[in-house]
Amino acid sequence: MTSETAPAPETDFTTAHPNPDILRRAYRLLRTGDELARLYEENKAVTAKYVHATARGHEAIQLAAAACLMPQDYAAPYYRDDALLLGMGLTPYELMLQLMAKRDDPFSGGRTYYSHPSLRRAGFPTIPHQSSATGMQAIPATGVAQGMKYLESIKRDVTSNGQPGNQPEASGVQGEANRRSSLLMLDSPQAKPLTLCSIGDGAMTEGEVSEALQMAALHQLPIIYLVQDNDWGISATGREMRTMNAYEFAAGFKGLHRLQTDGADFLASYATMQEAADYVRQRRGPVLVHAKCPLLGHHTSGVRREWYRGDDLAQHTLQDPLPRFHAQLLELGFAEDELQQLADEARATVQTDYERALAAPNPDPATFADHEFAPPAVTAETGERAPAGAEKALMVDAALHAVDDILREFPEALFYGQDVGGELGGVFREAALLAKKYGDTRVFNTPIQEAYIIGSTAGMSAVGAKPIVEIQFADYIWPGLNQLVEELSKSCYLSNGQFPVQSLIRVPIGAYGGGGPYHSGSIESTLLTIRGIKVVYPSNAADMKGLLRAAFLDPNPVVLLEHKGLYWSKVPGTEEAKTIEPAAGYVIPLGHANIFQAADEQKLANGETCVVITYGMGVHWARTASRQFPGQVEILDLRTLNPLDWDAVQAAVRRHGKALVLTEEPLMNSFAESLAGRIQRHCFQQLDAPVFTLGAANLPAIALNVELEKQMLPNPDKVATALVELLGY
């Protein structure tokens, strides 16, 4: 951005009482918001090409909210908050660049809707990417606040450029995150950062909002929840949606301080927001502000007010904050001529900026695929995989040691989830003693809140913390999928690379003998339909240690699937999951498959071989089955399912001409079937047989009875039967 399009914010709304300059600026920006809404309506053939909503009726509380923010703060606006953005120092031109999806849209480069900001700019509060902000933003915003509180607890030296003294110099996105995290150790209470989460009252009924409020109150996090209540959802009224307003609802969260204000009155709103900010900065605890506002514009440009508002619009117009503030300023001694001049300035700015935005260039179509992921941190295998004198380790212990190494080396790292803290250290003991070693501010239990566990990592990452979290069983991940899809997976792409989410999500997976329908499921195919996340699935202890570290270091969301049946190598045929334990610091780059077992060269030359392409438990089923076919079976362990090592897959298929894709999942519509189809499309001329597939029965759950489970799942005997047919084709 040039200085013309990235101005320094106009200050200062941060004194105890508004001075004349603050009042003038507030009036000019209130007029600016009104002019934006008017211009958008008058030019709706152009401005409504893409859906937008404006702040009309909400401007007073939004400008008051902007008043309490400092550059070290973080903000999570919602889709009606264009006045809040103006108050933070964004220009009408910048907002219009997003309105029209232009190339120089500072938030997303034309990728996402109006008033959906992502901003990392010196001198401004940081605005991490978030979804359409209809409740989902409460969890990532609370994660920001929890990250703030955690980083404040870190005791360490900071170099003059804000880097941790015991860490190497960082650059780019991570360097900025480290520099920003150093702000969190300022001693002055007035300078302590806070998070502002803006939300509509209709969204307060969502379960994810309750999860966020619970954690904010439980951990006393530095966050303001600003609830803008206009008594409407889209066409549903408050009385249809709720039995109480947000202020009344918040009374159920012990430790959540509550305030109410007239959101259409700038002076009242200003006083309330200053009180809220002072409370959070001084006490480091949460506040909920309930602000009653009129809705004077459309719900959005796609849902017009005349379709459903009726007489209600006339009633709301009586509460318009603009004429009210105008009258208050006259009572305070401002001249009508001065106010008219401010109004004229606002109109002229909006008109000029509109004409500039119309002429601004569109994005280059060639950039459409940029920023799916941030560049990986690990690009080569490094460290000792089998150090001399090292003993064999169970896969569960390799994972534990990898996390231990990370927590010791990276003070920004923390680990949380259900039952991973305290005495237990995870239901599989995969975090045993870590809480005792590192303290319960770094390794701690969460409530049963999968959405919070996953979604909070987006906020943690934005503030510079580095979270490792755990979902207790793969079957429990479904409540967290909304956050994984909407907040984590889209962040890097829709923020135009500004906010990749560094998040490692550990998920024990798979059947292991009598786990039943809620502890045995395989979910990788569902995860692999989510773009913007990486999915890793190790089959042995050495790979677990190397991949876990690489997943932690990766600047993108990574789901690490850990098969419970391989943890202790107790399941017959899984002895080779126990390996020599690599040295600390060993890493394997994501997206690199491994030839777990090679075929005999002479049999390969004679055309007597095939390849089994698999991962996780499938590696060991294939290994056991292959003993019936000495030298004839190559086993390609994918290790990472996304990014897929497609080059290794093609090379293996072309080498043998016969392939079996093996999975533990139900086969129909699975990743395995998709991969088989892809192989047939691209390797057809080299194939000597159709690509075979083998997976679990196409049933909705794993039965509890172990004999029923055996019937449903693949096993070495079923693999051997498939290999007989494939090799004899």
Same domain for 213 and 278, yes or no, is: yes
Same domain for 263 and 115, yes or no, is: yes
Q: What is the pLDDT of residue 69?
A: 96
CA 357 from chain centre, in angstroms, equals: 31
Domain CATH code at residue 416: 3.40.50.970
- Which of 580, 603, 622 terminates a domain? The answer is 580
Task: Count the neighbouring beta carbons within 10 Å of the beta carbon of residue 389.
Answer: 5
Q: DSSP string covering 579-623, please?
A: EEPPPTT-B--TT--EEEEPPPHHHHHTT--EEEEE-THHHHHHH
Average pLDDT over the chain, rounded to whole? 90
Mean pLDDT of 116-134: 92
Q: What is the pLDDT of residue 257?
A: 97
* Cis amide prior to 12 (ω within 30 degrees): yes
Cβ atoms 169, 175 nearer than 8 A? yes
Mean pLDDT of 243-250: 91
Catalytic residue among 116, 371, 401, 519: 519
- pLDDT tens profile 555-573: 999 999 999 999 999 999 9
Same domain for 576 and 609, yes or no, is: no
- pLDDT tens profile 471-501: 998 899 999 999 999 999 999 999 999 999 9
Whether 91 is in a domain gets the answer yes
Whether 162 is in a domain gets the answer no
CA 570 from chain centre, in angstroms, equals: 36
Q: What is the DSSP pairing of strand 633-637 with strand 594-597?
A: antiparallel
Would you say residue 75 has pLDDT above 90? yes
Same domain for 554 and 601, yes or no, is: no
Give the pTM.
0.91
- First-last CA distance in the chain: 62
Active site residue 519: yes
Same domain for 27 and 69, yes or no, is: yes
Cβ atoms 394, 386 nearer than 8 A? no
Cβ atoms 381, 588 nearer than 8 A? yes
Same domain for 541 and 638, yes or no, is: no
Q: What is the pLDDT of residue 300?
A: 72
Would you say residue 553 has pLDDT above 70? yes
Distance CA 426, CA 432 (A): 7
Q: What is the DSSP pairing of strand 443-445 with strand 610-614?
A: unpaired
Would you say residue 144 has pLDDT above 80? yes
- pLDDT tens profile 10-26: 434 444 468 999 999 99
Same domain for 598 and 573, yes or no, is: no
Would you say residue 291 has pLDDT above 90? yes
Same domain for 88 and 198, yes or no, is: yes
Q: What is the pLDDT of residue 155?
A: 52
Share of the chain above pLDDT 70, in %: 91
Cβ atoms 400, 611 nearer than 8 A? no
Domain CATH code at residue 687: 3.40.50.920
Domain of 722, in residue numbers: 594-728
Same domain for 403 and 488, yes or no, is: yes
Number of structural domains (the chain) is: 3
Whether 328 is in a domain gets the answer yes
Same domain for 430 and 396, yes or no, is: yes
HEC letters along 111-160: CCCCCCCCECCCCCCEECCCCCCCCCCHHHHHHHHHHHHHHHHCCCCECC
- Which of 552, 580, 608 terminates a domain? The answer is 580
Distance CA 113, CA 51 (A): 7
Q: What is the pLDDT of residue 668?
A: 95
Same domain for 422 and 478, yes or no, is: yes
- Which of 533, 557, 580 terminates a domain? The answer is 580
Same domain for 556 and 618, yes or no, is: no
Helix H or strand E encompassing 260 = strand 257-262
- pLDDT tens profile 425-436: 666 666 678 888
Would you say residue 538 has pLDDT above 60? yes
Q: Structure tokens of 687? A: 């194939």
pLDDT band for 168, please (50, 70, 90 cuts). Answer: very low
Q: Structure tokens of 46? A: 């152009």
Cβ atoms 351, 472 nearer than 8 A? no
Would you say residue 335 has pLDDT above 80? yes
Whether 668 is in a domain gets the answer yes
Cβ atoms 553, 505 nearer than 8 A? no
